Amino acid sequence: MSNGVIITPGLAHGALRRPEPQHDVVRQAQAFRAERRSERVRALVAIAVMGLAFLTVAGQLLRLAMQGQSEQRISINAPLATAFARPDIVDRNGRLMASDIVMHSLVADPHVILDQDEIADRLVTVLPDLDRKRVRNAIADRSKRFAWIRRGLSPAEAQKVHDLGLPGLDFRPELRRAYPLGRSAGHVIGLVDIDNKGLQGIERYLDERKNVEPVHGPSLSVRPPLRLSLDVAVQFAVEDELAEAMRRYSAAAAVGLIMDVNSGEIVAAASLPGLDPIVIDDRFDKNRIDRLASGTYELGSIFKTFTAALAFEGGVDPQKRFDVRQPLEVEGYPIRDLHPAGRPLTVTEIFLLSSNVGAGLLALNDGQQRQKAFLEKLGLTTPMSTEAGNVAPASLPGRWGDIETVTVSYGHGLAVTPLQFAAASAALINGGHRVKPTFLRKRGRSQKPAERVISSETSHLIRQLMRENVASNAGTGWRAAVAGLNVGGKTGTAEIAGIGGYKSKSVIASFIGAFPMDKPRYLTLVCLFEPQGTKETGGHITAGVNAAPTTARIISRISPLLGFLPNLEHTRTPDVGDRRFDGPRFPQ
């Protein structure tokens, strides 16, 4: 083999010139054969080992493939996310109402802190509202590697802490929600928790619509802002005037609403005392609840618009007279008027003079079934919700007999939220279409014809009544008149139910209004809670002397913001009531 000659047994026998002894050749051949055999065996063993190894790998792969995913899985989404990136919230004109900003949170690594007391002492010098004891406790355990000290420092505060140069402290950039407008529209905006997750109001709506994304670092949302129907300027004007009214009439609380009667867009929604989305303590202050959508109240005579509308739907003529001279006796309860007219009144006069007896007669004329069905059709007694959350459901009388029919006709015995009341009233004013209140801006969307709840003739009559109530001297709402704008509305003074009956000195004074009355665009609702008699009001606490003039001040302030110019033909003159709808030609 070594010299390249193949030696075969045949050659060895005869062809070799120098024949070697035969036994040598045979021995060589035998050794050679044995060597080849052992080589082959070794190769086979190697192949077998390698093959076995590959088979093992293949088998393992097959097993893994058949088992599917192994039980150990690492997920890097929500549970590990540290925060939520939220889109901005802007008003109808794009003015910022809420936004995410990156702020620095102060964290500590207790393991590397040298002097715990020094840290606590010196931190308190730059962050005075920090609780020293709590800081000390947070960093007490040296086996820990992480502790929050304060989340959401302002850049200036962070710089101060940084300048202390304390070891073991670090900053972690985090997304925090900022509300540049402070308390303005706080009830509507809602709130977020420490991880930027929406808990209430529009903030919660954002979460429900999956407009927020879980993020690990401080990365801002790239989603387009949520555009609300609110107008920051109108909202502020309403809040400012309500605060002024609370001061002027010593009221405990106030509610104001401006709503587009056709689209249901809420331009301003205020409930004072308001709350600041970032002040947690505000949430626990019972006095700061959202009276607009979370509190139900008996709203009193402003309900007479419904009573009148139901009568007109039933074909009652506005000039038909009802005898209101005697107190109305229903199921043993006498219903009286505050100032009895002493003569039969037409339906129009019942509305203008706000006669409880008259309203009761109108309601009895229609019957409780029709009244109940009518209120339900208007959406007053069915559950309602907006983007800012569920609206508190109406409290209905347990038994709806004759006496309840009469009390409901002038707004007692049935408690609703002011928001739901306004939504139902909008249908009476806008020509008879149901309106769903919304906090989102609607634009350009093809509006499918809304459900009709009352005839346009009835709506026209209601508008006339509301206008007359403000424009004529006979009406209770004349103080709501705004020079240059034809405002209409209805007053309501409801005694607040307390222990042992209604309290005559404690009332909710309300005014439901709309403008301009020839072609209404906006509905206004003002409720003052427990106003007191003042020198200006001559000691009275009825809505005509407080809620009505507040409405006038609000409307005169917001109408230029909403694009209305004063019309010089429109002044409040005593004879306007007889002229009836001397339609001004307003832009839009």
Interface residues with another protein (CB under 8 A) are: 95-97, 99-102, 155, 178, 180-182, 184, 218-220, 232-233, 236-237, 240, 483-484, 557, 560, 565-568, 585-588
CB of 93 to another protein, least distance (A): 12
The β-bridge relationship of strands 226-227 and 89-90 is parallel
Q: What does the block give as tokens for 60?
A: 């393992």
Query: Is 291 in contact with 271 (CB distance < 8 Å)?
Result: yes
| Residue number with CB closer to another protein (6 or 568) | 568
User: Residue 568 Cβ, how far from another protein at the closest point, in Å?
Assistant: 6
Cα 505 from Cα 539, distance rounded (Å): 11
| CA distance to 200, 276, 284, 288, per residue, from 281 (Å) | 15, 9, 5, 10
DSSP string computed for 545-566: GTHHHHHHHHHHHHTTTTTPPP
449 vs 587 by CB, closer to another protein: 587
In the bound state with another protein, the residue whose beta carbon lies nearer, of 95 and 160, is 95
The full DSSP string for 295-312 is --B--GGGGHHHHHHHHH
Question: At its nearest, how many Å lie between another protein and the CB of residue 133?
Answer: 33
Q: Taking the complex as a whole, how short is the minimal distance between the CB of residue 459 and another protein, in angstroms? A: 26
Q: Please list the residues that pair with 482 across neighbouring strands.
A: 485
Task: Catalytic residue, from 184, 301, 354, 425: name it.
Answer: 301
State in angstroms the smallest separation of the CB of 173 from another protein.
8
Which stretch of DSSP H or E encloses residue 254?
strand 253-260
Evaluate whether 299 touches 494 at the Cβ level (below 8 Å): yes
Q: Respond yes or no: is residue 301 known to be catalytic.
A: yes
User: Do residues 295 and 395 lie in contact, with contact meaning Cβ atoms separated by under 8 Å?
Assistant: no
How is residue 308 written in tokens? Answer: 């009148």
- Residues 51, 53: Cα–Cα separation, whole Å: 5
Residue type, 281: D
The alpha carbon of residue 85 and the mean position of all alpha carbons in its chain are separated, in whole angstroms, by 18
On the 0-12 / 13-18 / 19+ scale of CB atoms within 10 A, 203 is: buried
Sign, Cα dihedral of 172, 177, 181, 184: negative
Least distance to another protein, CB of residue 561, Å: 9
Q: From the CB of 556, what's the least distance to another protein, in Å?
A: 8
Helix %, strand %, coil % for the chain, to 5? 40, 20, 40
CA distances from residue 579 to 218, 320, 500, 557, 583 in whole angstroms, order as listed: 64, 20, 46, 27, 10
Pick 180 or 344: Cβ nearer another protein: 180
User: Smallest distance, Å, CB 490 to another protein?
Assistant: 25
Instruction: Name the DSSP letter for residue 287.
Output: G
- What residues act catalytically? 301
